[in-house]
Amino acid sequence: MRAVVVEAEGEPGVADVPEPNGPGTLVRVLACGLCGSDVEKLTAAHAGTVLGHEVVAELDDGRRVALVHHASCGECARCLAGHESTCERFAEPTIRPGGLAERVRADGWVELPSDWPDWRGAIVEPLACVLRGAARLPGGRVLIVGNGFVGRLFGAVLTRRGGEVFAVDVDPRRTGPAPDGQVDAAVVCGPGGVDTALAAVSPGGTVLVFADAGSIPLGDVYRRELTVVGARSAAPQYMPEAVALLHDLDVPEPTVLPLERFTEGLELYRSRKSTKIVFTT
Protein backbone atom coordinates (compact mmCIF):
# COMPACT_ATOMS: atom_id res chain seq x y z
CA MET A 1 0.00 0.00 0.00
CA ARG A 2 1.04 3.64 -0.45
CA ALA A 3 2.10 5.78 2.51
CA VAL A 4 4.00 9.00 3.23
CA VAL A 5 7.26 7.92 4.86
CA VAL A 6 10.10 9.99 6.30
CA GLU A 7 13.16 9.09 4.26
CA ALA A 8 16.72 8.67 5.53
CA GLU A 9 17.63 12.33 4.94
CA GLY A 10 14.53 13.53 6.77
CA GLU A 11 12.39 14.46 3.77
CA PRO A 12 9.03 12.77 3.06
CA GLY A 13 8.23 10.52 0.13
CA VAL A 14 5.26 8.48 -1.05
CA ALA A 15 6.41 4.86 -0.91
CA ASP A 16 5.04 1.32 -0.98
CA VAL A 17 4.98 -0.21 2.51
CA PRO A 18 3.57 -3.49 3.85
CA GLU A 19 -0.06 -3.54 4.93
CA PRO A 20 -0.18 -3.28 8.75
CA ASN A 21 -0.85 -6.41 10.75
CA GLY A 22 -1.21 -7.09 14.45
CA PRO A 23 -3.82 -5.82 16.92
CA GLY A 24 -6.52 -3.30 16.11
CA THR A 25 -9.09 -3.07 13.34
CA LEU A 26 -7.92 -2.72 9.74
CA VAL A 27 -9.65 0.29 8.16
CA ARG A 28 -9.42 2.05 4.81
CA VAL A 29 -8.16 5.63 5.07
CA LEU A 30 -10.21 8.20 3.18
CA ALA A 31 -8.44 11.40 4.23
CA CYS A 32 -5.80 12.65 6.62
CA GLY A 33 -4.87 16.17 7.64
CA LEU A 34 -1.32 17.49 7.84
CA CYS A 35 -0.45 18.67 11.36
CA GLY A 36 2.44 20.88 12.41
CA SER A 37 3.68 18.00 14.55
CA ASP A 38 4.00 15.92 11.37
CA VAL A 39 6.21 18.58 9.83
CA GLU A 40 8.34 18.64 13.00
CA LYS A 41 9.09 14.94 12.40
CA LEU A 42 10.74 15.62 9.04
CA THR A 43 14.23 14.89 10.34
CA ALA A 44 16.64 12.01 9.87
CA ALA A 45 15.94 10.94 13.46
CA HIS A 46 12.41 9.93 12.37
CA ALA A 47 13.46 8.02 9.26
CA GLY A 48 10.99 5.24 8.47
CA THR A 49 8.07 6.94 10.25
CA VAL A 50 4.71 7.02 8.50
CA LEU A 51 3.22 10.44 9.19
CA GLY A 52 -0.35 11.47 9.96
CA HIS A 53 -2.96 11.20 12.72
CA GLU A 54 -5.92 13.41 11.71
CA VAL A 55 -7.64 10.50 10.04
CA VAL A 56 -11.00 9.82 8.42
CA ALA A 57 -11.48 6.13 7.64
CA GLU A 58 -14.10 3.71 6.38
CA LEU A 59 -15.05 0.57 8.31
CA ASP A 60 -15.96 -2.73 6.68
CA ASP A 61 -19.66 -1.92 7.05
CA GLY A 62 -19.30 1.38 5.18
CA ARG A 63 -19.46 3.72 8.18
CA ARG A 64 -17.07 6.68 8.10
CA VAL A 65 -15.21 7.45 11.31
CA ALA A 66 -12.61 9.82 12.74
CA LEU A 67 -9.85 7.84 14.42
CA VAL A 68 -8.72 8.41 18.00
CA HIS A 69 -5.07 9.49 18.19
CA HIS A 70 -3.54 8.26 21.46
CA ALA A 71 -5.55 7.15 24.46
CA SER A 72 -4.84 7.29 28.17
CA CYS A 73 -5.83 4.68 30.71
CA GLY A 74 -8.47 6.95 32.26
CA GLU A 75 -7.83 5.55 35.73
CA CYS A 76 -4.42 6.71 36.97
CA ALA A 77 -3.91 9.80 39.12
CA ARG A 78 -2.74 11.84 36.12
CA CYS A 79 -5.81 10.97 34.07
CA LEU A 80 -8.17 11.68 36.94
CA ALA A 81 -6.51 15.07 37.44
CA GLY A 82 -7.15 15.97 33.78
CA HIS A 83 -3.57 15.41 32.57
CA GLU A 84 -4.35 12.52 30.24
CA SER A 85 -1.52 13.29 27.82
CA THR A 86 1.01 12.62 30.61
CA CYS A 87 -0.41 9.14 31.30
CA GLU A 88 2.16 6.37 30.84
CA ARG A 89 -0.11 4.68 28.29
CA PHE A 90 -0.58 7.81 26.23
CA ALA A 91 2.55 7.36 24.12
CA GLU A 92 1.33 4.03 22.72
CA PRO A 93 0.20 4.49 19.10
CA THR A 94 -3.47 3.93 18.33
CA ILE A 95 -3.13 4.47 14.55
CA ARG A 96 -0.61 2.12 12.97
CA PRO A 97 1.60 2.72 11.03
CA GLY A 98 0.33 6.30 10.51
CA GLY A 99 -2.62 8.10 8.97
CA LEU A 100 -1.03 9.17 5.69
CA ALA A 101 -1.44 5.68 4.28
CA GLU A 102 -4.08 3.76 2.37
CA ARG A 103 -4.91 1.47 5.30
CA VAL A 104 -4.17 1.49 9.02
CA ARG A 105 -4.84 -0.51 12.16
CA ALA A 106 -6.96 1.53 14.58
CA ASP A 107 -7.92 1.11 18.24
CA GLY A 108 -10.77 3.59 18.49
CA TRP A 109 -12.96 6.04 16.61
CA VAL A 110 -16.09 8.17 16.57
CA GLU A 111 -18.70 7.93 13.84
CA LEU A 112 -19.16 10.82 11.42
CA PRO A 113 -22.35 12.22 9.85
CA SER A 114 -23.05 10.67 6.45
CA ASP A 115 -23.40 14.03 4.70
CA TRP A 116 -20.00 15.43 5.67
CA PRO A 117 -17.21 15.72 3.09
CA ASP A 118 -14.15 13.71 4.11
CA TRP A 119 -12.08 16.83 4.72
CA ARG A 120 -14.48 17.96 7.45
CA GLY A 121 -14.02 14.71 9.32
CA ALA A 122 -10.26 15.32 9.33
CA ILE A 123 -10.85 18.38 11.51
CA VAL A 124 -12.37 16.34 14.35
CA GLU A 125 -9.05 15.32 15.95
CA PRO A 126 -7.45 18.80 15.96
CA LEU A 127 -10.71 20.31 17.19
CA ALA A 128 -10.77 17.79 20.05
CA CYS A 129 -7.27 19.00 20.98
CA VAL A 130 -8.50 22.58 20.97
CA LEU A 131 -11.56 21.76 23.07
CA ARG A 132 -9.37 20.18 25.73
CA GLY A 133 -7.13 23.26 25.75
CA ALA A 134 -10.03 25.71 25.77
CA ALA A 135 -11.45 24.02 28.87
CA ARG A 136 -8.41 25.37 30.75
CA LEU A 137 -9.06 28.98 29.78
CA PRO A 138 -11.17 31.51 31.66
CA GLY A 139 -13.86 33.44 29.84
CA GLY A 140 -13.55 37.04 28.75
CA ARG A 141 -11.05 38.65 26.41
CA VAL A 142 -8.56 36.22 24.82
CA LEU A 143 -5.62 36.82 22.49
CA ILE A 144 -4.58 34.07 20.05
CA VAL A 145 -0.84 34.24 19.37
CA GLY A 146 -0.25 32.39 16.10
CA ASN A 147 -3.38 32.49 13.98
CA GLY A 148 -2.92 29.50 11.72
CA PHE A 149 -5.50 26.73 11.46
CA VAL A 150 -5.36 25.73 15.12
CA GLY A 151 -5.43 29.37 16.18
CA ARG A 152 -8.57 29.85 14.12
CA LEU A 153 -10.15 26.78 15.69
CA PHE A 154 -9.44 28.30 19.11
CA GLY A 155 -10.95 31.57 17.94
CA ALA A 156 -14.10 29.85 16.69
CA VAL A 157 -14.53 27.80 19.88
CA LEU A 158 -13.92 30.72 22.23
CA THR A 159 -16.16 33.08 20.26
CA ARG A 160 -18.95 30.50 20.31
CA ARG A 161 -18.78 30.26 24.08
CA GLY A 162 -19.12 34.04 24.40
CA GLY A 163 -15.55 35.29 24.59
CA GLU A 164 -14.09 38.34 22.86
CA VAL A 165 -11.27 37.02 20.70
CA PHE A 166 -8.26 38.81 19.18
CA ALA A 167 -5.43 37.37 17.09
CA VAL A 168 -1.85 38.21 16.12
CA ASP A 169 0.52 36.37 13.80
CA VAL A 170 3.96 36.95 12.31
CA ASP A 171 2.21 36.78 8.94
CA PRO A 172 0.10 39.95 8.53
CA ARG A 173 -2.31 38.01 6.29
CA ARG A 174 -3.30 35.94 9.31
CA THR A 175 -3.52 38.69 11.90
CA GLY A 176 -7.02 39.32 13.24
CA PRO A 177 -8.46 42.16 15.29
CA ALA A 178 -6.01 43.69 17.77
CA PRO A 179 -6.99 44.08 21.43
CA ASP A 180 -7.59 47.50 22.89
CA GLY A 181 -5.76 47.18 26.18
CA GLN A 182 -4.86 43.98 27.98
CA VAL A 183 -6.69 40.69 27.84
CA ASP A 184 -7.75 38.11 30.40
CA ALA A 185 -5.92 35.23 28.71
CA ALA A 186 -3.65 34.42 25.79
CA VAL A 187 -3.12 31.20 23.83
CA VAL A 188 0.29 30.44 22.33
CA CYS A 189 -0.46 28.48 19.13
CA GLY A 190 2.88 28.79 17.37
CA PRO A 191 6.60 28.51 18.11
CA GLY A 192 7.80 31.41 20.22
CA GLY A 193 5.22 34.02 20.96
CA VAL A 194 5.62 33.87 24.71
CA ASP A 195 6.73 37.47 25.11
CA THR A 196 3.73 38.66 23.10
CA ALA A 197 1.37 36.54 25.18
CA LEU A 198 2.82 37.62 28.53
CA ALA A 199 2.77 41.30 27.57
CA ALA A 200 -0.86 41.07 26.50
CA VAL A 201 -2.42 39.55 29.62
CA SER A 202 -3.47 41.64 32.57
CA PRO A 203 -2.14 40.93 36.09
CA GLY A 204 -3.66 37.71 37.36
CA GLY A 205 -4.28 36.55 33.79
CA THR A 206 -3.75 33.16 32.16
CA VAL A 207 -1.41 32.00 29.39
CA LEU A 208 -2.23 28.68 27.71
CA VAL A 209 0.81 27.11 26.07
CA PHE A 210 -0.46 25.00 23.16
CA ALA A 211 2.80 24.88 21.19
CA ASP A 212 6.51 24.76 21.87
CA ALA A 213 6.81 28.26 23.25
CA GLY A 214 10.50 28.37 24.09
CA SER A 215 11.75 29.81 27.36
CA ILE A 216 9.23 31.56 29.59
CA PRO A 217 10.52 34.52 31.65
CA LEU A 218 9.31 33.59 35.10
CA GLY A 219 9.93 37.06 36.47
CA ASP A 220 6.76 38.23 34.71
CA VAL A 221 4.84 35.24 36.00
CA TYR A 222 5.99 35.97 39.54
CA ARG A 223 5.53 39.74 39.64
CA ARG A 224 2.16 39.79 37.90
CA GLU A 225 0.88 36.55 39.44
CA LEU A 226 0.08 34.97 36.10
CA THR A 227 -1.18 31.44 35.62
CA VAL A 228 0.64 29.44 32.93
CA VAL A 229 -0.98 26.16 31.86
CA GLY A 230 -0.10 23.66 29.17
CA ALA A 231 -2.35 21.54 26.96
CA ARG A 232 -1.10 18.91 24.54
CA SER A 233 -3.14 16.67 22.31
CA ALA A 234 -6.70 15.51 22.89
CA ALA A 235 -8.33 12.90 25.10
CA PRO A 236 -10.82 10.42 23.59
CA GLN A 237 -13.78 11.94 25.43
CA TYR A 238 -13.39 15.18 23.46
CA MET A 239 -13.84 13.46 20.09
CA PRO A 240 -17.67 13.11 20.24
CA GLU A 241 -17.90 16.71 21.46
CA ALA A 242 -15.83 17.81 18.47
CA VAL A 243 -18.15 15.97 16.07
CA ALA A 244 -21.22 17.56 17.64
CA LEU A 245 -19.69 21.05 17.59
CA LEU A 246 -18.54 20.82 13.97
CA HIS A 247 -22.15 20.72 12.83
CA ASP A 248 -22.39 24.45 13.57
CA LEU A 249 -18.82 25.74 13.92
CA ASP A 250 -17.54 28.10 11.25
CA VAL A 251 -14.15 26.66 10.27
CA PRO A 252 -11.92 27.52 7.31
CA GLU A 253 -12.10 25.00 4.47
CA PRO A 254 -8.72 23.34 3.86
CA THR A 255 -6.84 22.69 0.65
CA VAL A 256 -7.61 19.09 -0.38
CA LEU A 257 -5.06 17.15 -2.44
CA PRO A 258 -4.53 13.49 -3.35
CA LEU A 259 -1.84 11.65 -1.41
CA GLU A 260 0.54 11.53 -4.38
CA ARG A 261 0.71 15.34 -4.28
CA PHE A 262 2.05 15.35 -0.71
CA THR A 263 5.19 17.31 -1.62
CA GLU A 264 3.05 20.04 -3.18
CA GLY A 265 0.83 20.21 -0.11
CA LEU A 266 3.83 20.35 2.20
CA GLU A 267 5.19 23.33 0.26
CA LEU A 268 1.83 25.10 0.54
CA TYR A 269 1.99 24.56 4.31
CA ARG A 270 5.61 25.64 4.68
CA SER A 271 5.12 28.75 2.53
CA ARG A 272 1.97 29.62 4.55
CA LYS A 273 -0.08 29.79 1.36
CA SER A 274 -2.68 27.51 2.91
CA THR A 275 -3.71 27.30 6.55
CA LYS A 276 -4.63 23.61 6.33
CA ILE A 277 -3.90 20.71 3.99
CA VAL A 278 -5.92 17.48 3.87
CA PHE A 279 -4.80 14.55 1.73
CA THR A 280 -7.14 11.97 0.24
CA THR A 281 -6.22 8.38 -0.65
Res 180: pLDDT: 94
Structure confidence by residue, pLDDT tens digits, 32-46: 999 999 999 999 999
Residue 248: per-residue pLDDT: 86
Assign residue 246 the CATH number of its domain: 3.90.180.10
Whether residue 224 sits in one domain with residue 244: no
Assess whether 169 and 106 both reside in one domain: no
In terms of residue numbers, what domain contains 77?
2-129+233-280
HSE-up (13 A, CA, CB side) for residue 88: 3
Pair (9, 105) in one structural domain = yes
Asked if 186 and 207 count as a contact pair (C-beta separation under 8 A), the reply is yes
* Residue 13 predicted with pLDDT over 90: yes
Residue 95 has pLDDT above 90, yes or no: yes
Q: Which helix (H) or strand (E) segment is 74 a member of?
A: none
Mean pLDDT, rounded, for 155-160: 96
From the list 125, 110, 159, the residue with the least C-alpha distance to 35 is 125
Q: Looking at the predicted structure, is the pLDDT value of residue 179 above 90?
A: yes
Quick count: other Cβ atoms within 10 Å of Cβ 212? 14
Q: Are residues 73 and 211 in the same domain?
A: no
Q: Residue 55 contacts by C-beta under 8 Å, 6 or more apart in sequence?
A: 29, 31, 32, 66, 67, 69, 95, 99, 104, 106, 122, 125
Supply the mean pLDDT for the chain.
95
Same domain, 226 and 239: no
> Do 123 and 152 sit in the same domain of this protein?
no
- Could you tell me if 88 and 212 lie in one domain? no
Residues 199 and 85 in one domain: no
CATH of the domain at 216: 3.40.50.720
pLDDT at 214: 81
Residues 15 and 120 grouped into a single domain: yes
Quick check: helix, strand or coil at residue 7?
Answer: coil
pLDDT at 271 over 90: yes
Are 163 and 93 contained in the same domain? no
Q: How many domains would you assign to the chain?
A: 2
Work out the average pLDDT over 230-234.
Answer: 93
160 plus 40 within the same structural domain: no
Q: Which residues are CB-contacts of 223 (< 8 A; sequence separation ≥ 6)?
A: none
Q: Is the same domain home to 123 and 251?
A: yes
